[in-house]
Amino acid sequence: MVAIGEAARLSGVSIETIRYYEHEGLVAKAGRTASGRRTFSKASIYELRFIKRCRDLGFSIHDAVALRSLANEPANACETVGQLDRNHLTDVRAKIAELRRLESALIELVANCAKEQHDCPMLDALMGQNS
């Protein structure tokens, strides 16, 4: 049993975020000492780490909770997990595509921008009537 600061160090989740997770019901409520300080078991630290890994993979909190409860289920978990993963992968790829679109637009716009230029081609494009 460790205090919240140690739990934060061990799990990689910040103190504030741990409290936020508890408040939102995302993880089980921590125990308390006589003076009201939270205490964390090994299990609860693993729980925090699990959530953190999901978040680091870009899963929403909602999905992270879903994954966490799948970890306790015996049957068919793997299939559901795979589905969540593939859905998320689709989202990630859509974001990549969108960002690449932005990237090439930005490259094109900045291409003719330079010092000592009277008219800025990028500003012209942003102000223009077309499209």
Footprint of a second copy on 107-126 (CB under 8 A) = 107, 109-110, 113-123, 126
**Is the separation of the CB atoms in 63 and 54 below 8 Å?**
yes
* Residue 1 interacting with a second copy (CB under 8 A): no
C-alpha to C-alpha distance for 114 and 12, rounded to whole angstroms: 45
* Residue 130 interacting with a second copy (CB under 8 A): no
Interface residue with DNA, options 25, 43, 62, 76 (CB under 7 A): 62
Which entry of DNA, a second copy, none binds 88, CB below 5 to 8 A by partner kind?
a second copy
Rank residues 60 and 112 by Cβ distance to DNA and give the closer one: 60
**Is the separation of the CB atoms in 125 and 109 below 8 Å?**
yes
The SS3 call for residue 31 is strand
Interface residue with DNA, options 10, 15, 57, 84 (CB under 7 A): 15
Find where tokens 């993979």 sit: 57
C-alpha to C-alpha distance for 97 and 7, rounded to whole angstroms: 38
C-alpha to C-alpha distance for 107 and 93, rounded to whole angstroms: 21
Binding site for a second copy (CB under 8 A): 46, 50, 53-54, 57-58, 67, 70-71, 76-79, 81-82, 85-86, 88-89, 92-93, 95-96, 99-100, 102-103, 105-107, 109-110, 113-123, 126-127
